[in-house]
Amino acid sequence: MSRTGAAPAWMGRPTVAVRVAKAVALTVVVLLVIFPLWTVLATSLADPQTVIENGGWVVWPGEFSFGAYTEILQGGIITRAMLVSAGITLVGTALSLACTVGLAYTLSRPKVYGGKPLLLLVLFTFLFPPGMVPLFLVVRSAGLFDQYAALVLPFLVNVFNLVVMRGFFQSIPPELIDAARIDGAGELAILRRIVLPLSKAVIAVIGLFYAVAYWNRFFEAIIYFNDQTRWPIGTVLRQYVTGGASLAETSGELATTSPQSVQMAVVVLATLPIVCVYPFLQRYFVKGVVTGALKA
């Protein structure tokens, strides 16, 4: 019964027309996803002459030019924003994982003191997410204005991720944990030596979800930060690419780079870290999402 790549006998051979139609459909889907990314990459790498001749966008860069990248990575606002985003992503993901693992583990133990009410307390927030203005009030009164913590603390634990992780912890055979306990291991030792090593995949997936969310967050910096030099890359990108602001003031010599290339280089830099970690974690996340969706 198991599929070994070949079609089962009952399926019969699909006609040529069906196979062609399927191939065309799949190709179109793949191209629709890849083309926008490709043209952005190509435009960022094209030399200014090619960009101007093509009216602002290119499919083939012609002569490669890294001018756009050397220009924005020379230590200006983009460099700074990349570093801010990287820092927030690293620190935020570590803190989020620690808090999520801790809370999920406790809520996954049967008969823990207050387990049921605490679980309801957490799940209720799923129903009524905090509004934009009240959350702003909390952040403000916590003194987080112009603090990088304002981009981390309000998003520390995601309920969906928590529920997925709790579900995974619950699926660990209780015999393993009981055996460790009989051997005299305390709760922390059980968590560290039994539970966490078994949960590497789910931690990787949820770590990815957190990291992507931190890296992509741009809106909060607009309302919480007066100091624009502290903006993360997403917020800067919005300013230059969709907010209508021009990069002309940051790009010194327009003869060596075109403004379009610089803009697209910013898009590429904001996208790059995600595209880079994606293949490594991809094999895990289908499992993570499906378990989560079924549990939730």
**Measured from the CB of residue 208, what is the shortest distance to another protein in angstroms?**
8
**Measured from the CB of residue 5, what is the shortest distance to another protein in angstroms?**
6
Q: Which of 206, 237, 262, 265 is close enough to bind another protein by CB under 8 A? A: 237
Q: Which of 72, 77, 88, 162 is close enough to bind another protein by CB under 8 A? A: 162
Q: Which of 20, 52, 53, 102 is close enough to bind another protein by CB under 8 A? A: 102
3 state DSSP class of 293: helix
**Measured from the CB of residue 187, what is the shortest distance to another protein in angstroms?**
4
Half-sphere exposure of 83 (CA within 13 A, CB side): 11
Residue 85 in tokens: 């985003």
Kindly state whether residue 242 participates in binding another protein, applying the rule CB under 8 A.
yes
| Burial tier of 139 (Cβ tally within 10 Å: 0-12, 13-18, 19+) | buried
Pick the piece of the chain touching another protein (CB under 8 A) from 64-72, 196-204, 245-253, 274-282.
Answer: 274-282
Size of residue set near another protein by CB under 8 A: 107
Kindly state whether residue 228 participates in binding another protein, applying the rule CB under 8 A.
no
Distance CA 119, CA 104 (A): 9
| Contact flags string 120-159 toward another protein, x per CB under 8 A | -xxxxxxxxxxxxxxxxxx-xxx----------xx-xx--
Kindly state whether residue 187 participates in binding another protein, applying the rule CB under 8 A.
yes
Work out the number of other CB atoms within 10 angstroms of the CB of residue 278.
Answer: 12
Q: Where are the alpha helices (DSSP H) in the chain?
A: 16-45, 48-53, 67-72, 77-108, 115-127, 132-141, 159-170, 174-182, 187-190, 196-198, 200-216, 219-224, 233-237, 259-295
**Measured from the CB of residue 67, what is the shortest distance to another protein in angstroms?**
19
**Measured from the CB of residue 142, what is the shortest distance to another protein in angstroms?**
7
Pick the piece of the chain touching another protein (CB under 8 A) from 76-84, 86-94, 112-120, 245-253.
Answer: 112-120
**Integer CA distances (angstroms), 285 to 29, 104, 161, 206, 273, in order:** 21, 18, 12, 8, 17
Contacts to another protein from residues 1-40, by CB under 8 A: 1, 3, 5-8, 10-12, 14, 18, 22, 25-26, 29-30, 32-37, 39-40
Distance CA 183, CA 137 (A): 49
Distance CA 173, CA 182 (A): 15
Contacts to another protein from residues 192-221, by CB under 8 A: 212, 215-219
Nearest Cα residue to 101 out of 205, 212, 208, 203: 203
Kindly state whether residue 84 participates in binding another protein, applying the rule CB under 8 A.
no
Do you know the residue count of the chain?
296
Kindly state whether residue 57 participates in binding another protein, applying the rule CB under 8 A.
yes
